[in-house]
């Protein structure tokens, strides 16, 4: 498509979020969180606990409130600085609800019907899924664009949702003949941690909804549990190959090597040259040690914060205030662009 419409010219801004449903796992940490932390050095960042997304499937009210704090604690424990960055709960900023409605009128049924996450989550009984689960990616577009965010660090599974966000932004700009009004947000999907797979099946992504606890490492797991899960991770009987081509057809091995690389900040080929020819009897204990060493401080800090929820609440409150201060003027502009009456 040739396009000569002026591009967005506002400042760069980072936005991302995680749902407060279930415990965070190594995939969330390596796919998203560690990138969030690094981006604070170069960008203004907004990190949201997306509780409105969580209620697209039933949630227990008390658990929802506790998990919202827990996810915020995980952000802080991983190194998100609530003074430099904005950390808040989605439901405490009205712009998300409002812009989601406008975007429900911008997005097209066909676009949303293509989303594979809805098909996966709704399963065979899509007729019984909530309407909210269907329009979930439209709310995600609203999250990002309520701040005119330009960059969105996520794991690979969010790629399709980000494409929808770009389509929504572009369509809105065109429908109202306001080229460059919204930026077309770019995903940041990077590093060997962008797609961490189940420890029990290298073809399935590590997920909080997997019924097997052994399939994932949770951020709150203690050292013994982490070591046990790595010991029990599925592998094969061949030795570790020396090159990345040697990982083809060995998804479980590929995954463990990728986890090693992501945790150590090294490349997969570097890890392979270190372990070439060795068996898993040597590799797994080394990986377990690295995982415990990297996650231990995060886990401890999360526990400390959960014992002092006042600190988390302060971060969420000030974050909400700062998020409202950015999104409210943007929403004023949006209402004007749409043409709503005002006295």
Residues marked as catalytic: 121, 205, 208
Q: How far apart are CA 10 and CA 127, in angstroms?
A: 41
Binding-residue pattern over the window 202 to 231 for ligand AMP, x denoting contact by CB under 6 A: ---xx-x-----------------------
Q: How far is the CB of 11 from ligand AMP (least distance, A)?
A: 23
Residues at the contact surface with ligand TRP, assessed by CB under 6 A: 15-19, 50, 53, 140, 143-144, 152, 154, 158, 161
Contact between 258 and ligand AMP by CB under 6 A: the answer reads no
List the strands of the sheet with 14-18, edge to edge.
86-89, 45-49, 14-18, 151-153, 186-188
DSSP 147: T
Q: Which long-range contacts (CB under 8 A, 24 or more apart) does 320-323 make?
A: 320/88, 320/89, 320/92, 320/93, 322/86, 322/88, 323/46, 323/48, 323/86, 323/88, 323/92, 323/93, 323/147
Residue 152 interacting partner from ligand TRP, ligand AMP, none (CB closer than 5 to 8 Å by kind): ligand TRP
Residue 161 interacting partner from ligand AMP, ligand TRP, none (CB closer than 5 to 8 Å by kind): ligand TRP
Name which position in 18, 37, 48, 199 contacts ligand AMP (CB under 6 A): 18
Contact between 56 and ligand AMP by CB under 6 A: the answer reads no
Inter-residue contact 88 to 319 (CB < 8 Å): yes
Complex with ligand AMP: residue 91 or 173, whichever CB lies closer: 91
With contacts defined by CB under 6 A, how many residues of the chain interact with ligand AMP? 16
Complex with ligand AMP: residue 291 or 330, whichever CB lies closer: 291
Q: For residue 326, give the 3-state DSSP assignment.
A: helix
Residue 143 interacting partner from ligand AMP, ligand TRP, none (CB closer than 5 to 8 Å by kind): ligand TRP
Q: In 3D, which of 153, 132, 133 has the Cα closest to residue 48? A: 153
Residue 200, Cβ neighbours under 10 Å: how many? 18
| Residue 180 backbone zone (phi > 0: left; psi -120 to 50: alpha; other: beta) | left
Contact between 157 and ligand AMP by CB under 6 A: the answer reads yes
Q: How far is the CB of 31 from ligand TRP (least distance, A)?
A: 9
Complex with ligand AMP: residue 31 or 319, whichever CB lies closer: 31
Complex with ligand TRP: residue 33 or 288, whichever CB lies closer: 33
Structure tokens given for 158: 């969010």
Q: In 3D, which of 22, 54, 36, 77 has the Cα closest to residue 207? A: 22
Q: How far is the CB of 195 from ligand TRP (least distance, A)?
A: 13
Q: How far is the CB of 299 from ligand TRP (least distance, A)?
A: 21
Residue at token pair 């150590």: 264
Q: How far is the CB of 208 from ligand AMP (least distance, A)?
A: 6
């Amino acid at each position: 498509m040739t396009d000569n419409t002026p591009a967005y010219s506002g400042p760069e801004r980072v936005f991302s979020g995680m749902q407060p449903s279930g415990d965070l796992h190594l995939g969330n940490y390596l796919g998203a969180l560690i990138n969030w932390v690094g981006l604070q050095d170069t960008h203004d960042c907004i990190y949201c606990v997306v509780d409105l997304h969580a209620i697209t499937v039933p949630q227990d009210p008390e658990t929802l409130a506790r998990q919202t704090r827990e996810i915020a604690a995980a952000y802080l424990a991983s190194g998100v600085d609530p003074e430099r960055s904005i950390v808040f709960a989605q439901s405490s900023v009205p712009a998300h609800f409002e812009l989601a409605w406008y975007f429900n009128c911008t997005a097209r049924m066909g676009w949303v019907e293509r989303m594979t996450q809805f098909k996966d989550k709704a399963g065979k009984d899509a007729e019984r899924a909530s309407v909210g689960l269907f329009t979930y990616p439209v709310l995600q577009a609203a999250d990002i664009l309520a701040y005119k965010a330009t960059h969105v660090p996520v794991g690979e599974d969010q790629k399709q949702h980000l494409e929808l966000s770009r389509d929504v932004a572009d369509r809105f700009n065109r429908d109202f003949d306001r080229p460059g009004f919204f930026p077309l947000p770019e995903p940041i999907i990077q590093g060997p941690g962008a797609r961490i797979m189940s420890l029990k099946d290298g073809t399935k992504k590590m997920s909080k909804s997997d019924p097997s606890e052994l399939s994932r490492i949770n951020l709150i797991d203690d050292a013994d549990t982490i070591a046990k899960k790595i010991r029990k991770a599925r592998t094969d009987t061949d030795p570790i190959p020396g090159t990345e081509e040697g990982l083809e057809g060995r998804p479980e091995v590929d995954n463990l090597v990728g986890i090693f690389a992501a945790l150590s900040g090294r490349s997969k080929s570097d890890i392979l040259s270190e372990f070439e020819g060795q068996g898993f009897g040597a590799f797994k204990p080394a990986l377990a040690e690295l995982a415990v060493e990297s996650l231990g401080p995060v886990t401890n800090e999360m526990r400390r914060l959960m014992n002092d929820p006042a600190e988390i609440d302060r971060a969420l409150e000030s974050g909400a205030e700062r998020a409202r201060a950015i999104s409210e003027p943007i929403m004023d502009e949006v209402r004007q662009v749409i043409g709503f009456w005002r006295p």
